[in-house]
Amino acid sequence: MSLPSELCCPACRGPLAVEGVGAACRGCDRRYPGDRGYLDFLPDLGAAAGEGLGPRLMHSRVLARVYERLWRPFFVTVASSGLPDYRAEFEAVLAALASAEGGAVVDLSCGPGFTGRKLAESGRFSRVFGLDWSLAMLARAAADNRGLMRLVRGDVGHLPFKTGSLAGVHAGAAFHVWPDPPSAVAEVARVVRPGGAFVASTFAHTSGLRRHLEAAVATVGQFHVFEVDQLRGMLSAHGLVDFDCERRGSLVLFWARRAGAAAA
């Protein structure tokens, strides 16, 4: 087994060496197992689910089995007041990742791996990583992977990638369950190269009575709902510029690029 050149130790950002089917950090001597179909950068955390109903659900093996077929279509339909159009959504993601073509990209909070596999199957990227915290989601992703992605278990607040090593980052329908979105955005900005792309989807407030419903559901589910200007400001604060977005009801797909020129 060889290790992708983009990876590093998330604890000290030191270089990694192959150790059996896993990896060891040459800097701090931490060991990361890789015997479950993914490299585990959180080996001591077990199936910790975090706080809140929404985040805890992402660690359910039952949900992992039905996520793409039932769960995601359901909440997309409710949030957007219309049926999902996955083909149009994926084409929009590819368009936002145009500057990343030919480079390595990561699908953050990849869940059971549907979008990450589609990115890999597109043939537009040199390597596609899928990263998630959930053991249940990664088990499902590994079972269906067919060697398309390099799967890793990690924390969006401490990404196991070298600074400036990625051409693009995608995070689909996950931003709202991250415990600390600004810290995660800071990590995205660190790992993506100048000129590289970030594209994500999440929930954003609408107006009127629907806004009150969004707030109530967010309180029960214990996840975030954002203002679009809040998202723009969060990204800009960490050097992610040229923000743009498109909306369907409470759902927003947004994208930006890392400030600076891409490497020649």
Crossing angle of helices 228-236 and 181-191, in 10° steps, is 40
Looking at residue 178, its amino acid is W
Q: Does residue 97 form part of some domain? A: yes
* Residue ranges making up the domain that contains 203: 37-258
Three-state SS across 88-156? HHHHHHHHHCHHHCCCEEEEECCCCCHHHHHHHHCCCCCEEEEEECCHHHHHHHHHHCCCCCEEEECEC
d(CA 151, CA 149): 6
| 52, part of any domain | yes
pLDDT at 200 (0 to 100): 97
> Does 3 fall in a domain?
no
How many angstroms separate the CA atoms of 152 and 169, rounded?
A: 14
pLDDT of the residue at 220: 47
Q: Can you give the pTM of this predicted structure?
A: 0.88
Q: Mean pLDDT for each consecutive 10-residue tract of the chain (264 residues)?
A: 93 96 96 97 73 62 69 68 82 97 97 96 98 93 96 97 98 90 97 98 74 53 80 97 92 95 62
In a domain, 12, yes or no: no
Q: Say if residues 136 and 57 touch (Cβ distance below 8 Å).
A: no
Pairwise CA distance, residues 52 & 239, whole Å:
30
Residue 204 covered by a domain: yes
Is residue 80 included in any domain, yes or no? yes
Residue 10 forms part of a structural domain: no
Does residue 239 sit within a domain?
A: yes
pLDDT number for residue 212:
47
Rounded CA gap, 243 and 240, in Å?
Answer: 7
CATH code where residue 155 lies: 3.40.50.150
The structural domain count of the chain equals 1
